[in-house]
């Protein structure tokens, strides 16, 4: 190492230190005070631990446990420290928690991660192996409650570490470790025996015992690293980290002293990789202590600050910090960056981030902390740093995360006598302070007529009683009208540094809550603007969290889709969605989630999205009895997704009758089902009015010409001011197919069966052959063109006698009876052929005369309608602009794929109306 001029060769006497148990008048303490621990300098090389009485002084080697020479004994000046400490960008600090150190295999993985870091110098902070800290506390607990089984528990601790070491290490290193372990355990046995006799353990005794978990894990890891040939030392951080208690179960590091001690330590052990114990430290008087909750993270941050590390990496078992509690919000995402302040705010709200005090040491030097998953090295983790770049510059990106706090009560102190009276707030809050309640948020309107604040629910009774008592006179005189308690409240907080000075963020939040029908009871936002806090009913809290989170984190074009009728068209649509959703998400930021599929007997529901690769199997295996009411509720009650659409792929009139209610609920509707648009006119008009009033979308392109752009073409003409004169064409794929293929080689009924087989017919082919399907299409187009026509206004020439259609109880029976008309059809066809003509079934809308008709006609062979093939539709729009030559749309107008494609287009049209990029 360069620049390591200072070396502290302390004489043995100076290297020794004294341990003075805290003075206590209790007998138990006195028993403990009579114990003295003396360890030789080479204790960790397997030397003896002697326990016996001496003159009250305790000499400990640096690497044993809690004692270090007093600060005064290390005569290193501050400037020397600065010269010596290898600071700069060469250090990286890693911290591995108990889970990472859980098994020998994991410890080996940790070693590999450390070895894989190319930083020049590495300081590794480790926790005890998982569960060991609890086992150690349990030892103390058992001993002080005079439970003999502490000895067995100690043996288990020994066994755990011995087994792990044998798995991980070999040769001399294993022997050294085991010898040390033996020695420590017999040391502990004596200590626990003392505690047992005293029936009490001081905090420092307890901390001394517990700290062994880290001592052992640090040694094991350092040996594991050394095994690969890398130079590695281990550090007992009690020699280096000096802290002072700061109340509330917290400690403050003494940085100056820490630096001095670290300097001293480096002078003796200039290794490039140092494995150090997390969690444990010493007081200025060299009493062993711990860094309390999340202590190892704190150790890493303090050490990171001491060596001015380039980065502190906290390794754990999650991919990083989530945007919300993933147990409550399945859509929660891992945040790539967080500012120190954001991490701070979030940890207050219980997010599993770092404890705020962990951030303080690194924050002052702008050292980034990265939280990474040891079990998923491909995850980049979350970086907590000064001011992360605004990744996409969106308003939405201003909010980094959402958090909730439950079990709160609001206290509302109200009265006209409060306004303009100085000291009211002070009187209220001093009452709260006097009963020791913790105020979680405060809000006061500027009219000053009321002050409300939230406290933990369990503290509210005493707060309320105190306030009633303090303000008895004001209440009696009417200056205060009430001191009201509202139980069952939660806080929802939105956290984000960039919310500050960004207009519109709170508007988005409150809009999301309003749309989820959530009542906000109180609001608070400090002028730092990092945090907007709203108080709501606890029962609404998760719903509110999901609604708010989805609004900020999901793509605006995330669509929750409910599919009704997974038959021919519905099934084809589901398969198309399956194949295309990933592409849409990737290329267009359109996130389609089918969260429900219902047929007539069963339905399948999911909160986040059905796996479309196996929707059929799931619908068979995991479905529940179909119920359209609960199906729709499932969609409307889902507040994760900002937009919802029901896609009706049935031919059912009763399903169509619900569109009105769905639109009213804010659910968009898309359908190839003609029933709503060709049903009773008054209902259709009501539906359109509701659709416009509710700002929802209702698309039905596939009702005419299947996937062909018929409705959209008509709309385009109308919306741009063209005037429709006539729409005429072959609107039935089934009938087109039949007459295109009925050429004298096959019977008429066989061709009908082929059309049915090809999926061109309606679920009931009588609808096609009766001409009703075409009549419905004419009505759809008429209404779209602004004509108020009923289905009954369209004269329809049926292709089969009505009596036949009516006399059959099923479509199959109808198909069986159909051959009886084959002869009649053969004659009609050959008559037309003899005249050089073909048969075609056409629909026509005369917009000028406000009438429509549907009939079988004969066309000369050179007529465009005679040129069709397959299931082709042809639709000719004659308009003011297209008067001489009509605008013609032609192509396959029936069949599963083209129809489903038309419905899919409507879904994407909806996404684009909702803001998807074009």
Residues labelled catalytic: 777
Cβ nearer to ligand LTNE7NMQ, comparing 728 with 762 = 762
Task: Give the residue carrying structure tokens 């399956």.
Answer: 578
Site residues for ligand NAI, 535-564, by CB under 6 A, read 564
Report how far apart the first and last C-alpha atoms of the chain are (Å, whole number).
Answer: 60
- Out of ligand LTNE7NMQ, ligand NAI, Na ion, none, what residue 732 binds, judged by CB under 5 to 8 A for its kind, is ligand LTNE7NMQ
Binding of ligand NAI by 650 (CB under 6 A): yes
Rounded Cα gap, residues 298 and 95, in angstroms: 10
Q: Which of 710, 714, 717, 908 binds Na ion (CB under 5 A)?
A: 710
Question: How far is Cα 890 from Cα 504, in angstroms, rounded to an integer?
Answer: 48
Q: How far is the CB of 864 from ligand NAI (least distance, A)?
A: 22
State the nearest-atom distance from the C-beta of 786 to ligand LTNE7NMQ, in Å.
22
Partner that binds at residue 569, options Na ion, ligand NAI, ligand LTNE7NMQ, none, CB closer than 5 to 8 Å by kind: ligand NAI
Separation between Cα atoms, residue 795 and residue 585, nearest integer Å = 47
Task: Name the one range near ligand LTNE7NMQ by CB under 6 A: 210-218, 415-423, 630-638, 726-734.
Answer: 726-734
Q: Of 321, 899, 904, 916, which one interacts with ligand NAI (CB under 6 A)?
A: 899
Pick from 417, 456, 488, 763 the residue near ligand NAI by CB under 6 A.
763
Residue nearest to ligand LTNE7NMQ (CB): 734
Which stretch, 63-71, 371-379, 483-491, 568-576, contacts ligand NAI (CB under 6 A)?
Answer: 568-576
CB of 874 to Na ion, least distance (A): 13
| Binding partner selected for residue 710 from Na ion, ligand NAI, ligand LTNE7NMQ, none, CB under the kind-specific 5 to 8 Å limit | Na ion
Q: How far is the CB of 526 from Na ion (least distance, A)?
A: 55
759 binds, among Na ion, ligand LTNE7NMQ, ligand NAI, none (CB under 5 to 8 A by kind): ligand NAI
Residue with tokens 């549907």, as numbered in its chain: 854
CB 574: neighbour CB atoms within 10 A?
A: 23
The residues near 121 (Cβ < 8 Å, ≥ 6 apart) are 86, 90, 91, 92, 272, 273, 274, 307
Rounded distance between C-alpha atoms, residue 289 and residue 330, angstroms:
40
Residue 600 sits in the site that holds ligand NAI (CB under 6 A)? yes
Decide if residue 257 touches Na ion (CB under 5 A). no
- Other Cβ atoms less than 10 A from the Cβ of 7: the count is 13
* 705 part of the interface to Na ion, by CB under 5 A: yes
List the one residue from 701, 764, 773, 784 that touches Na ion (CB under 5 A): 701
Residues near ligand NAI (CB under 6 A), total? 29
Residue 738 C-beta: closest distance to ligand LTNE7NMQ, Å: 9
- List Cα–Cα distances, 736 to 568, 630, 791, 855, 862, in angstroms: 20, 40, 21, 13, 16
Q: How many CA atoms does the CB half-sphere of 92 hold within 13 Å?
A: 15
678 sits near ligand LTNE7NMQ (criterion: CB under 6 A): no
Give SS3 for 825.
Answer: helix
Does residue 599 belong to the site contacting ligand NAI (CB under 6 A)? yes
CB atoms within 10 A of CB 611: 11
Kindly tell me which residue out of 192, 724, 894, 900 binds ligand LTNE7NMQ, with binding defined by CB under 6 A: 894
- Cβ closest to ligand LTNE7NMQ, residue 67 vs residue 651: 651
Asked whether position 872 contacts ligand NAI by CB under 6 A, the answer is no
Identified binder of ligand LTNE7NMQ from the candidate list 288, 304, 852, 893, rule CB under 6 A: 893
Q: Which does 565 bind (CB under 5 to 8 A by kind): ligand NAI, ligand LTNE7NMQ, Na ion, none?
A: ligand NAI
Structure tokens at 65: 């446990």
Complex with Na ion: residue 545 or 708, whichever CB lies closer: 708
Based on the shown chain and the rule CB under 6 A, indicate whether residue 843 belongs to the binding site for ligand NAI: no
Q: Which of 565, 596, 642, 886 binds ligand NAI (CB under 6 A)?
A: 565
Q: x-or-dash pattern for ligand LTNE7NMQ, window 756-775, by CB under 6 A?
A: ----xxx-----x----x--
Count residues binding Na ion (CB under 5 A): 4
Contact 281, 208 (CB under 8 A): no
CA distances for 866 relative to 224, 704, 799, 870, angstroms: 85, 20, 18, 12
- Secondary structure of 519-587 in HEC code, one letter for each residue: CEEEEEECCCCCEEEEEEEHHHHHHHHHHHHHHHHCCCCEEEEEEECCCHHHHHHHHHHHHHHHHHHHH
Phi and psi torsions of 397, nearest 5°? -70, -5
**706, 892 contact by CB (below 8 A):** yes
Query: Can residue 359 be called a binding residue for ligand NAI (CB under 6 A)?
Result: no
Q: Residue 701, interface with ligand LTNE7NMQ (CB under 6 A)?
A: no
In whole angstroms, the minimum distance from the beta carbon of 747 to ligand NAI comes to: 23
Q: Is 649 in the site for ligand NAI (CB under 6 A)?
A: yes
Listed residue (64, 57, 50) closest to 180, CA to CA? 64
Among 381, 759, 765, 886, binds ligand NAI (CB under 6 A): 759
The candidate with the shortest Cα–Cα distance to 495, out of 398, 565, 634, is 398
CB atoms within 10 A of CB 801: 12
Question: Residue 633 CB, nearest distance to ligand NAI (Å)?
Answer: 15
**Partners of 872 in the β-ladder:** 892
**CA distances from residue 495 to 356, 522, 663 in whole angstroms, order as listed:** 15, 17, 34
- Burial class from Cβ neighbours inside 10 Å (0-12, 13-18, 19+) for residue 518 reads buried
178 vs 174: CA distance, rounded Å: 6
Q: Which is nearer to ligand NAI, 385 or 632 (CB)?
A: 632
Quick one: 823 exposed, middle or buried, by C-beta within 10 A (0-12, 13-18, 19+)? exposed
CA gyration radius, the chain = 39
75 phi/psi in degrees, rounded to 5: -95, 70
Task: For residue 732, state whether it binds ligand LTNE7NMQ (rule: CB under 6 A).
Answer: yes
Write the interaction track for ligand NAI spanning residues 579-598; mark x where CB under 6 A is met and - where it is not.
-------------------x
Find the binder of ligand NAI among 762, 784, 872, 906 (CB under 6 A): 762
User: Does residue number 747 form part of the binding site for ligand NAI (CB under 6 A)?
Assistant: no
Residue 124 burial by Cβ neighbours in a 10 Å radius (0-12, 13-18, 19+): buried
Cα distance between residue 232 and residue 230, in whole Å: 6
Stretch that binds Na ion, among 400-408, 706-714, 766-774, 909-917 (CB under 5 A): 706-714
Stretch that binds ligand LTNE7NMQ, among 418-426, 548-556, 570-578, 755-763 (CB under 6 A): 755-763
CB of 706 to ligand LTNE7NMQ, least distance (A): 5
CA distances for 149 relative to 138, 141, 146, 186, 211, angstroms: 10, 11, 9, 16, 20
Give whichever of 213 and 570 is closer to ligand NAI, judged by the CB atom. Answer: 570
Examine residue 672 and tell whether it contacts Na ion (CB under 5 A): no
Q: How many other β-carbons are positioned within 10 Å of the β-carbon of residue 450?
A: 20
Find the shortest distance in angstroms from Cβ 755 to ligand LTNE7NMQ.
7
Interface positions with ligand NAI (CB under 6 A): 564-570, 598-600, 649-652, 654-655, 672-674, 702, 706, 733, 759-760, 762-763, 894-895, 899
Interface positions with ligand LTNE7NMQ (CB under 6 A): 706, 732-734, 760-762, 768, 773, 893-894
Interface positions with Na ion (CB under 5 A): 701, 705, 708, 710
């Amino acid at each position: 190492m360069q620049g390591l001029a200072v070396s502290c060769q302390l004489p043995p006497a100076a290297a020794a230190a004294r341990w003075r148990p805290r003075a206590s008048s209790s007998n138990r303490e006195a028993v403990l005070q009579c114990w003295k621990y003396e360890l030789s300098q080479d204790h960790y090389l397997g030397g003896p631990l002697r326990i016996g009485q001496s003159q009250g002084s305790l000499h400990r080697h640096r690497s044993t446990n809690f004692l270090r020479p007093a600060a005064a004994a290390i005569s290193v000046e501050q400037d020397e420290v600065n010269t010596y400490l290898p600071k700069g960008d060469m250090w990286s600090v890693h911290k591995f928690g108990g889970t990472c150190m859980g098994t020998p295999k994991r410890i080996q993985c940790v070693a590999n991660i450390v070895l894989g870091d190319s930083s020049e110098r590495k300081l590794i902070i480790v926790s005890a192996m998982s569960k060991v800290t609890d086992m150690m506390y349990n030892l103390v607990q058992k001993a002080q409650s005079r439970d003999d089984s502490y000895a067995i528990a100690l043996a288990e601790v020994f066994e755990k570490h011995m087994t792990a070491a044998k798995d991980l290490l070999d040769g001399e290193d294993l022997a050294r470790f085991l010898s040390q372990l033996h020695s420590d355990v017999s040391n502990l046995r004596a200590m626990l025996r003392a505690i047992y006799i005293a029936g009490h353990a001081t905090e420092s005794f307890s901390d001394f015992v517990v700290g062994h978990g880290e001592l052992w894990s640090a040694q094991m890891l350092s040996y594991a690293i050394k095994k690969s040939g890398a130079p590695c030392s281990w550090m007992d951080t009690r020699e280096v980290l000096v802290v002072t208690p700061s109340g509330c179960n917290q400690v403050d590091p003494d940085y100056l002293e820490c630096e001095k001690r670290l300097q001293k330590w480096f002078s003796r052990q200039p290794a490039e990789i140092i494995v150090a114990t997390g969690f444990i430290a010493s007081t200025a008087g060299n009493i062993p202590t711990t860094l309390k909750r999340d202590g190892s993270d704190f150790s890493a941050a303090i050490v990171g600050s001491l060596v001015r590390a380039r980065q502190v990496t906290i390794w754990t078992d999650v991919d990083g910090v989530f945007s919300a509690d993933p147990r409550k919000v399945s859509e929660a995402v891992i945040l790539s960056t967080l500012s120190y302040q954001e991490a701070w705010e979030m940890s207050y709200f219980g997010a599993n981030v770092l404890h705020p005090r962990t951030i303080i040491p690194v924050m002052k030097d702008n050292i980034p902390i990265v939280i990474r998953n040891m079990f998923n090295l491909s995850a980049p983790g979350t970086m907590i740093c000064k001011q992360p770049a605004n990744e996409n510059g969106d308003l939405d990106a201003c909010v980094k995360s959402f958090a909730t706090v439950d079990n709160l009560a609001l206290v509302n102190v109200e009265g006209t006598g409060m306004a303009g009276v100085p000291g009211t707030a002070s009187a209220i809050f001093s009452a709260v302070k006097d009963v020791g309640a913790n105020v979680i948020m405060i809000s006061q309107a500027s009219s000053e007529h009321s002050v409300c604040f939230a406290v933990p629910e369990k503290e509210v009774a005493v707060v309320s009683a105190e306030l009633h008592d303090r303000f008895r006179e004001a209440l009696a005189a009417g200056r205060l009208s009430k001191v009201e308690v509202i139980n069952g409240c939660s806080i929802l907080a939105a956290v984000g540094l960039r919310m500050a000075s960004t207009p519109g963020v709170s508007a988005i939040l409150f809009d999301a809550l309003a749309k989820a029908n959530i009542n906000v009871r109180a609001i608070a936002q400090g002028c730092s603007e990092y945090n907007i806090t709203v108080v709501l009913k606890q029962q609404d809290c998760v719903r509110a969290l999901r609604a708010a989170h989805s609004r900020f984190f999901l793509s605006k074009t995330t669509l929750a889709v409910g599919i009704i009728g997974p038959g021919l068209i519905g099934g084809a649509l589901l398969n198309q969605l399956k194949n295309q959703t990933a592409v849409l998400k990737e290329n267009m930021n359109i996130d389609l989630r089918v969260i429900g599929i219902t047929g007539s007997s069963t339905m399948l529901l999911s909160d986040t999205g059905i796996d479309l690769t196996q929707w059929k199997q799931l619908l068979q295996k995991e479905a529940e009895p179909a119920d359209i009411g609960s199906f729709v509720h499932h969609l409307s009650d889902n507040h994760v997704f900002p937009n919802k659409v029901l896609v009706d792929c049935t031919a059912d009139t009763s399903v169509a009758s619900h569109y009105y209610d769905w639109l009213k609920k804010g659910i968009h509707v898309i359908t190839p089902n003609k029933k709503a648009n060709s049903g009773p006119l008054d209902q259709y008009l009501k539906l359109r009015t509701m659709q416009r009033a509710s700002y929802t979308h209702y698309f039905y392109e596939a009702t005419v010409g299947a996937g062909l752009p018929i409705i959209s073409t008509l709309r385009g003409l109308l919306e741009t001011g063209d005037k429709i004169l006539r729409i005429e064409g072959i609107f039935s794929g089934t009938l087109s197919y039949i007459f295109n293929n009925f050429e004298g080689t096959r019977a008429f009924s066989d061709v009908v069966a082929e059309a049915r087989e090809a999926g061109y017919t309606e679920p009931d082919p009588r609808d096609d052959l009766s001409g009703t399907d075409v009549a419905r299409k004419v009505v759809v187009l008429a209404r779209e063109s602004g004509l108020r026509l009923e289905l009954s206004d369209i004269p329809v020439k049926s292709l089969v006698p009505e009596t036949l259609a009516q006399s059959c109880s099923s479509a199959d029976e109808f198909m069986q009876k159909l051959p009886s008309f084959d002869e009649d059809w053969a004659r009609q066809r050959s008559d037309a052929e003899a005249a050089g003509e073909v048969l075609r079934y056409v629909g026509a809308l005369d917009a000028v005369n406000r009438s429509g008709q549907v009939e079988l006609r004969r066309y000369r062979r050179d007529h465009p309608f005679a040129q069709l093939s397959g299931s082709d539709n042809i639709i000719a729009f004659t308009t003011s602009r297209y008067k001489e030559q009509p605008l013609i749309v032609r192509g396959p107008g029936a069949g599963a794929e083209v129809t489903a494609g038309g419905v899919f287009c409507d879904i994407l049209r909806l996404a684009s109306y909702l803001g998807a990029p074009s």
